[in-house]
Amino acid sequence: MAVKSAYISKKAAKGEKANLTNSGFTTEEELYAYREMLLIRRFEEKAGQLYGMGFIGGFCHLYIGQEAVVVGMEMAQKDGDAVITSYRDHGHMLAAGMDPKGVMAELTGRKGGLSKGKGGSMHMFSKEKQFYGGHGIVGAQVPLGAGLAFANQYRGNDNVSVAYFGDGAANQGQVYETFNMASIWKLPVIFVIENNRYAMGTAATRSTAVSDHLGARGAAFGIPYEQVDGMDVRAVRDAADRAIEHCRAGEGPYILEMKTYRYRGHSMSDPAKYRSKEEVQKMREEHDPIEQVKARILNAKLATEDDLKKIDAEIRAIVTEAAEFAQNDPEPDPSELYTDIYVNA
C-alpha cells in the first residue's frame, strides 16, 4: 500500500472498525500511531541536540521511549477533552496537535514560543488545544486536572480531563487528596500514571511500597484502575477507550497505570547511572513502541519500507524546520516581563 503523505489526521485515523487489521487497529490507525510517535521521537532527539549546543537552558526532560502512552490516549480522546501533565511534556504537546515550531521555540526561549518564550521546557499551554501544561512542581498538576474535570462537570458537557503524572509523583500527598475529592464528586477525570520505574533517579522498588501496582491505591477511594502495557500503543488506546467511556457516562474518575520506560535520564543533566546500559538496550530491542508498530505495518503489508522511509523523511523535515525557527526567532522584548501574569477573563 502506498502512503501518499506522512500526514494522516486524527479524524481519519478513527476508521471504520470493519476495516480492522489483525492487530486490532485499522490501517489508518497503525499509520497514524507510527507517524505521531515518530514525530515525538525525532523532535526529542533534536531537542537533546539543541540542549547540548547550548540553545536550550534550564531543565529539559525528554520523552523518548514513552511515546505510546500519550499517542494511545490522544487517539481515544475528542476535541474538548482537557490534558494536563508534568514537566516531561513535549510529547504531550505534539500529540495534542500543537505546532512543533512553537514548542521548539519555547524550549529556546524565543518570542514565537507557545508561552512567548517565557515558560521554557516545563511550562507551555494552549487554550485552543485544551492543553494546560507543563508543570514544574512534582504532582501539582493532579489537583489542577481534577479542577478541569470539575469545570466540565459544572458546564454540563461530556468532556473529560486527562491528568498525567509519574511514579515519583504517585507518592505525593496532594494526589490522594485529589483522588478523594474526585471520587466524592464523581469527576470525569482520568489519572494516568506514567510509571517509567525510576522517578527522578531512584528505582520505584527502593522508594515505593507495592511499587508494581501503583494504580491499586485508588481502591481506597473506590476508583477503578487498570495496569496497561504502556509500550504498546494498541493496549493504551484500548484501555483509554474504556476509561473515557466510564467518565463520559458520569461514573466518576478512572486510573490507568502505564508501565513504560524512558531511555534517557530524568533530565538532560542526569547520566542515569542507577541502571545498566544492558537494561536500556534490552528494552529498546524488545519493547520499543515505534518498532512494534513498524513491524506490524511491514508484516501485514500495510505499507512498504520505502513508504515508511518517506514518512521519516517528512517528519525529519518538520523537526528541522522547527529547530531552525527556534534558533533564529528573536527573544522576547524585556517589556514582556510583566505581561501575561493575570488572565483577562
Q: For the segment 114-166, what is each residue's pLDDT rounded down to a tens digit? A: 999 999 999 999 999 999 999 999 999 999 999 999 999 999 999 999 999 99
CA distance 150 to 144: 10
Q: Structure pTM? A: 0.92
pLDDT tens track for 52-79:
999 999 899 999 999 999 999 999 999 9
Does the pLDDT at position 10 exceed 70? no
Residue 11: what pLDDT?
56
3-state helix, strand, coil in the chain (%, to 5): 50, 10, 45
Ordered structural domains, the chain, with CATH: 34-323 (3.40.50.970)
DSSP string of 122-181?
A: T---BTTTTB----SSTTTHHHHHHHHHHHHHHHT----EEEEEETTGGG-HHHHHHHHH
What's the whole-number average pLDDT of the chain? 93
pLDDT, mean of residues 18-43: 89
Length of the chain: 345
Phi, psi (degrees; rounded to nearest 5) at 108: -95, 5
Instruction: Note whether 267 and 59 are within 8 A (CB).
Output: yes
Grid coordinates representing 45 are 532527539
Q: What whole-number distance in Å separates Cα of residue 103 and Cα of residue 99?
A: 6
Q: Please, which residues bridge with residue 259 across strands?
A: 195, 229
Q: Look at residue 9 in the predicted model and tell me its pLDDT.
A: 60
List the single range of 193-197, 246-250, 269-273, 315-319 with lowest mean pLDDT: 269-273
What pLDDT is recorded for position 343? Answer: 73
Mean pLDDT value of segment 7-28: 67
